[in-house]
Structure formats: structure tokens, C-alpha cells
Chains A and B, each alone.
Chain A
Amino acid sequence: MPGAGRCPDCGSAELVEDSHYSQSQLVCSDCGCVVTEGVLTTTFSEESNLREITYSRSTGENEQVSRSQQRGLRRVRDLCRVLQLPATFEETAITYYQQAYRHPGIRTARLQKKEVLVGCCVLITCRQHNWPLTMGTICTLLYADLDVFSGTYMQIVKLLGLDVPSLCLADLVKTYCGSFRLFQASPSVPAKYVEDKDKMLSRTLQLVELASETWLVTGRHPLPVITAAAFLAWQSLQPAGRLTCSLARFCKMANVTLPYPAASRLQELVAVLLRMAEQLAWLQVLKLDKRSVVKHIGDLLQHRHMLVRMAFQDGSAGMETQEKEQQRQRQRQRKEEVGGSTSGSLPGKRPASPALLLPPCMLKPPKRSCPTPPISTVTGDENISDSEIEQYLRTPQEVRDFQRAQAASQAAVSVPNPP
């Protein structure tokens, strides 16, 4: 053990136990320096001679595991077991918690934060192993506020310098859709609403891919998009009986909480599908609307790559693609002669010009225009006129009135129950 039994003055290892008037002492036999006096020591330097000192001055604070840290580690293990994570995840999460606990900012934080820290460590572990776990799930399990969670999460990622990969959308779809209670008939789920898991999963995946390609996923919470996609997939697999079922009812039946933005994501997804449907000649005649397009989701998904390319243009594509599209459509219209009357009507109907493939926030008109501020020629050293400052000061009369008003309101407050 380094430093054990060395004289602090001359560094000699010749320490002799001696007693001076019944007080035991440790004395250096070379220089005569008294290394320790008595059984109890009082300073940190004495501790390096492996003598006892007070706890707050010792290094035991760093070496021992404090009670709250033990509690936190227990919570990490419990959380991993509740989420049924593999054993390796538990060890990694424990390590992260211990690492975080070494930082004084975490050690002195409130209990609420330490509780949330448990969730953060588990989340980081899952993300690094591509295990799809959302922050919402953890917050629900820990009864924590998402704001507190987000603050602690960002802080700990920065503090520990960790690389946390993004949430894996495909895995999340599988896990989330797997949790829907629609795959078996039950008292709450009539037979016509029961669906095959694999079919629904694959269609939902395709719809989510379509959504992410058409800018509906970037910057948004992933779960509402997946809910909307699952709903459309489920409806389209047996449209006959299911078109009447609403999104809210669907979620209630599937025993899943309906995220608030899911309705708006549903509208956006249906709008994308409608645009794609306009590129298919046999669907143009049908004049689909947002309900009837659900019946044809299967077809649309089958040709989704081509249809997206045709239906949308980037802002930079310009007029040439637009004209090429119209030419192609006219050609297809001529080929698809569905009887004389319909073919007559087709040339009359112009296919919609390709919409811009942009995130919805860029397609909506700006709420208020931001005018560029006029170039100010302020130098910062101008003269400040007295009148300008006077306008901000109260006259003595106003001061008196204000004081009187304040006193009156204080009096009213201090009398809680007027007789």
C-alpha cells in the first residue's frame, strides 16, 4: 500500500510505535517526527498513513456506494427486468449509472432527477443496442415528466460524452404494432376486425416508409405516424367492413392510447396517397376521396416508388418534368381505352400538375411574413434626451396614488373573510 508507514517529513519507512504518557504514537526513527498521535486522527494527510479519520474528510465518500446510489442501481435493475431486456443491457445500464454518479452535479441532484436518471441510462443502453424503446414508455413507467426527462437525458449524454444512435423506425413499428390487440377475436374485437399480424405489419412498414420518403416523419414524433399507418393498413386489408371505424375507436379496440397528432398525420398520409392515386389511370376515373382511396392502398403501395417519383417533383425539378409527366399521362390515357365514353372524358380531365415534395411545414403558407428590419444606424453612443427618460418615471402624484392603491390591495388581501 503506497504511503503506508512513511514519514511525511523525511520519507523514511522506519516508523516505530512508541507511547508517550500512555498515548500511543507513531514516530519516525530517522528524524523523530511524530507521524500520528493517538488512535484517532483528524486530518486527511493522516489518512494516507492508513489511520482513521472523519468520514466527510475521507475518500470513502468516493469509494463507497452511497445509499441513494444503491437505490438507483436497484431501480435500474428493476426497470430492465420490467422491460424484459437481455442481461447484457442491465450491466451496461448499471455502468452508465455509476459513471454518471461520479459527477458532482448528479450526486447532489434531487431525488426526482436521480429517478429520471435511471430511465435515461436504460434508454441509452437500449438505443445503443437498437432496441426500440420510446421516451414516452419510460416516462410512463417512472411516472416522470417528459420535460424533466428530456433535460436530464440531454445533460447526461453531454456529460458522459456518449454516442446515442437514432431510434430505429422499423423495429419500433414491429414492437408497437405487435402490441395491438387485434390479432385474436375477443369480446371487444368483433371477428371482422381481427387481422393477421404479419400482413398488417408488412403493410404498416410500407406505409411508414412511404411517409418517411414524403417528409412526413422528419422532425416529428415517430409514434403518431406509426399509429396512423397501422390504422390505414388495417383498414385497407378489409375495407368493406372497416371503413366505418374511426381512428379513435380503432385505438380503443387495440388497447393502445391514441397519440394526439395521429389524426393530423392520418390526413397528411391520405393526401399523399391521393396524389399518388392521381397518377394511376385506372384510379383517375374513380375520382377517389379520402375514404375511398383506402380501398386501393394495396395497389398504390405496390407501385409506390414509381408513383412517388411521378406524383411529386422537387422544388428544383422545374417545368420539364412537369411537362414530361403530362405527356406520359396523356400517353397512358390513350392506351387505357376504357370504353368510348370514358375515353372521351379522359382527355378533358387534366392530370394534376406534380405537387412539390416538401415537408408540410414548407407547404403551408407562412402565418406571418417576417419583414427584414430596416438597417438601423444606431452607434450606441448617441445622446439620450432627458425627456425620453422622463417618460418612464412616475410623477410624485402618481407615486402617491400608486402607494395608496398598493396599501389598499394589501389591506384587502390581509382580511380573508370579511364579517
Chain B
Amino acid sequence: MLTSWNPSLAMLPGQHLPLWAKPALEALKKISLVGPEELSCLGSAGPPRIKRAVDKGQLHPSVAMERAPCLELYLDQCATQDGLVPALSPLFSPFVPYDVYTPNPSNPEMTLESHLEEIKETSDDFSSVDLIFLPDELTQENRNHTVIKSQHETEENSRTQNHQNKLPLLSKQDVELGFQGSSLSNPQAHLCPGPADSALPSPENPSPHTLPLSIAPMTPVAPASECSGIVPQLQNIVSTVNLACKLDLKKIALHAKNAEYNPKRFAAVIMRIREPRTTALIFSSGKMVCTGAKSEEQSRLAARKYARVVQKLGFPARFLDFKIQNMVGSCDVRFSIRLEGLVLTHQQFSSYEPELFPGLIYRMVKPRIVLLIFVSGKVVLTGAKERSEIYEAFENIYPILKSFKKG
């Protein structure tokens, strides 16, 4: 996708990205928006590139001098290349917003505003696409410069003051994705393979023309560091279907090999098939319950097979109102859990009675799922009507369990 990029603007190796940007780019690489070769290009940056551009006459020297590392400069360069932007724009939705750096820390707000005006103009031509390359342009000058929010977030300016103080310190340390302080958007949440359902970033930036200019921050919703990477496995699906005809259970039990019927014990025929391995309860009213399947599709196929058996036995069976009633999943978090602690902090949701049952029963409100949590770290989730509810419930419980990991 960057093939049309002018190779003369290749970076020199050995230049460093700002510490905050590198993990963001690594994350981008992970989701293959940026290829490895591009990443290495981006990894090196700086004024030499600009200087070369100036030498080649692509850049006006005065502009280069004044605002060498700024966005506008870079965008001007890109403007000289044809066909670059339109090709790239669909790929880069305002998904990974980046901050604008100012070269002049002494008067950040003013320069920011002037920048932003320029950016606004250019943004009509360019999407936030090219911002991907932004960090490497600005790295050299701006490692210790401030991080400023977009004009929309002027109310955040007070917070950015803190950033200005913080960043010089932070640049020394390794700034992970869990960068504190800003709470605007959370692209990391999107990078989670799990069904993290954090809200789209930047509710303050509704307009598509505005560049969502904020650093990859962390919201309380689903920080990347706590994305579990574990997917619960479905163990059992219970579904019901209406065959819509009265059935003679005695006849079914007589003519079907895989049926058992004991009217004194239970008023339904218990039928089993081998593939998919399931059990069905068939009632004389024509209603049927199918249990034991490991996926929704298998449950549906099994129910159809039972209906076919009943059909072959001479009843006018149909297949109406197939509905999944319950789904059970299980998984293993692979660390031991202090159940006594968990019941203390989450008393309103948990029920832990070691005298009755070794596991803790956690009744999650949203989604409405019951979880059985055991000391070995195994978790059973039940009560779902949809697969996504199980995944969501597990993603909700995982940070809670991690906080009880005996470390």
C-alpha cells in the first residue's frame, strides 16, 4: 500500500521514534495496517530526510527552517506525490489518531492553533492517513515536546499542561500502551482480538474532516494490557423446536432403536443420535428439546435429524420455531483465584458457600450470565442465548479475576 511512496524520502536508520509512538506502530503492524518494511522505514526519521527534501527542491527552505518537523511540511511533501493520498485514504479511517507536535514548547497553544488551522485545511485533502508517518517526521525534535490535543478538546488543555510536565520524565521510561492521562480514544481496544466493545474513540470528534488528534491512550473500558486472549469454548447448547403435530410416544419408542420411554419416570421419549452427539426429549405435544451440541449450527442440524426420524416414523412433523435456549461455555484462566477475596469485594454479585459448593457463583448483570468460578482458575459460563454474551461476560470477568491473582 505504500508502494507509491517516494523512496527518496527513505529514513536513515538509527533514529528513534518517540517512545510513545513505537508501541502504537507495533500495534498497527500487528493488525497489518503497516507492513514490516514500512515499520522499519518509519522507525527511522528526522531532519535528514527533510534536509534531503529541501535539497531536492521539493521543500521551500524557509518552511523547512521554521517548522521542519511539523505536520504541514510533511503534508506538503506528500502533496507533491500523485495518487498517494487517495489510494491510502480508505485504509486509514480515523482509527489511530495521532497527536500533533509543536516545535515550540514555550508557546504550545498558539502554535498548536495555528497548526490546527493548517491541518484543518489540509485535512480536507488528506485523511488521517498520512499521520501514520507523522511520528518519524517529528521524532527528532519532539521527543521532549509537548503532546497537544486537537482544537476540539480545548477543555483538555488543562490536562495537557500536565502532559507537558510529564512527558520529559516519561520519555526516559518505557511508555507502554497504557499511557495515563488522556482519555479520549482507545484504539488499543480495537486491537484486542476479543470482543472488546469499547466505544468508538473521540466522541468529541464527530466530523469526518477533523483529525482525531489524540495519543493512543487508555480508557477504563478495556485496556489492551488486560485483554485476555482466552476464548471460552462452548460445551453445551440447549435448543427447542416445535414439530407441530401430536405424537404417539409409544409408537416412537417401539419403532426407533435409539429411543427410551418410561412414562412412569418421565413423560417424554429420550432419543439420541450419534452425529452430532446429542440427546433429545420429545414430548407428545410435538415439542422437542435438543441438548448436547457444541455449537449453534450443530444443534440445529441435530434437531433437524430428530425431526426427520419422527417424520420417517409416519408423523407429519415440521420444523418450527427453532430457538437456542441456553449456551454453556468454559475456559481456564491458568492462575489460582482467592475466592474469599472475590466474594468480599463483589458481594452483591457473588455467592460463595464452601459448605455447599466449591465454586463461587457470580451473577453478572450485564450481560445476564451466571459464572461458576473455581479456585483452580477454571470458569464456567452459562445462561447465554447468544455466543457473544459468553465472550462478553468472560472479558468482563477477566480483569476482576486478574486482580485476585495471588502474585
Chain A interfacial positions (CB closer than 8 Å to B): 134-136, 146, 150, 153-154, 157, 163, 165-167, 212, 215, 217-222, 314-316, 357-359, 361-362, 372-373, 376, 378-382, 384, 388-394, 398-399, 402-403
Contacts and interface: CB of A to CB of B under 8 A. Distances in A.
B407 interface: yes
Contacts of B301: 378-382, 384
Contacts of B348: 163
A257 to B, nearest CB: 15
B333 to A, nearest CB: 12
Interface string B85-98: 00000000000000
Nearest to A382: B301
18 contacts: A153-B353, A163-B348, A165-B347, A167-B355, A218-B340, A219-B375, A220-B358, A221-B355, A316-B335, A358-B336, A373-B294, A376-B298, A378-B295, A378-B298, A380-B296, A384-B301, A384-B305, A392-B273
B294 A393 contact: no
Contacts of B376: 359, 361-362
Interface of B: 233, 254-258, 273, 275-276, 294-301, 304-305, 308-309, 312-313, 335-336, 338-340, 343-344, 347-348, 351-359, 374-377, 406-407
B343 A166 contact: yes
A231 to B, nearest CB: 20
B119 to A, nearest CB: 46
Given A166-B340, A392-B309, A219 B254 contact: no
Given A361-B376, A384-B304, A388-B305, A220 B354 contact: yes
B256 A403 contact: no
B336 A135 contact: no
Contacts of A392: 256-258, 273, 309
Contact of A154 (B233, B255, B338, B351): B351
A195 B275 CA distance: 65
Nearest to B374: A219
Contacts of A136: 355
Contacts of A394: 254-257
Nearest to B405: A316
A387 B169 CA distance: 74
Contact of B297 (A212, A378, A393): A378
A393 B255 contact: yes
B354 A221 contact: yes
Given A221-B354, A378-B295, A389-B312, A359 B305 contact: no
Contact of B356 (A150, A212, A389): A150
Contacts of A218: 338-340, 354, 375
Contacts of A373: 233, 294
Nearest to A136: B355
A399 B305 contact: no
Given A218-B340, A376-B294, A379-B297, A362 B377 contact: yes
Given A219-B339, A376-B295, A403-B254, 9 more contacts: A135-B356, A166-B343, A166-B352, A219-B359, A220-B358, A378-B276, A379-B297, A381-B301, A390-B312
Contacts of B356: 135, 146, 150, 153-154
A380 B324 CA distance: 13
A124 to B, nearest CB: 12
A380 B297 contact: yes
The 5 A-B pairs of least Cβ separation, nearest first, read A380-B300, A380-B297, A219-B358, A219-B375, A378-B297
A316 B351 contact: no
A393 B256 contact: yes
A180 to B, nearest CB: 20
Given A135-B355, A373-B294, A359 B336 contact: yes
Contacts of B295: 376, 378
Contacts of B273: 392
B347 A393 contact: no
Contacts of A135: 353, 355-356
Nearest to A373: B294
Contacts of B256: 392-394
Nearest to B254: A399
Contacts of A146: 356
Most chain B beta carbons < 10 A, residue from A314, A389, A391: A389
Given A314-B407, A373-B233, A361 B304 contact: no
Contacts of B294: 373, 376
A388 B336 CA distance: 46
A215 B337 CA distance: 10
Given A393-B257, A394-B256, A219 B300 contact: no
B291 to A, nearest CB: 16
A379 B295 CA distance: 10
Contact of B298 (A315, A372, A380, A391): A380
A389 B254 CA distance: 16
Nearest to A149: B356
B355 A134 contact: yes
A159 to B, nearest CB: 13
B398 to A, nearest CB: 16
B355 A389 contact: no
A393 B312 contact: yes
B354 A389 contact: no
A91 B18 CA distance: 68
Nearest to A356: B336
Contacts of A359: 336, 375-376
A381 B275 CA distance: 14
Given A215-B375, A362-B336, A393 B309 contact: yes
A122 to B, nearest CB: 15
Nearest to B310: A389
Contact of A384 (B308, B338, B343): B308
Contact of A393 (B233, B300, B304, B313): B313
Most chain A beta carbons < 10 A, residue from B305, B358, B359, B406: B406
A309 to B, nearest CB: 13
Contacts of B340: 166, 212, 218
Contacts of B375: 215, 218-219, 359, 361
Most chain A beta carbons < 10 A, residue from B255, B351, B377: B255
Contacts of B377: 362
Contact of B406 (A314, A361, A372): A314
A371 B174 CA distance: 39
A193 B279 CA distance: 59
A103 to B, nearest CB: 19
Nearest to A213: B406
A103 B273 CA distance: 43
A191 to B, nearest CB: 36
B338 A157 contact: no
Nearest to B377: A362
Nearest to A386: B312
B302 to A, nearest CB: 9
B347 A163 contact: yes
Most chain B beta carbons < 10 A, residue from A219, A388, A394: A219
A77 to B, nearest CB: 25
Contacts of A219: 339, 354, 358-359, 374-375
B305 A389 contact: yes
A374 to B, nearest CB: 10
Contacts of A357: 406
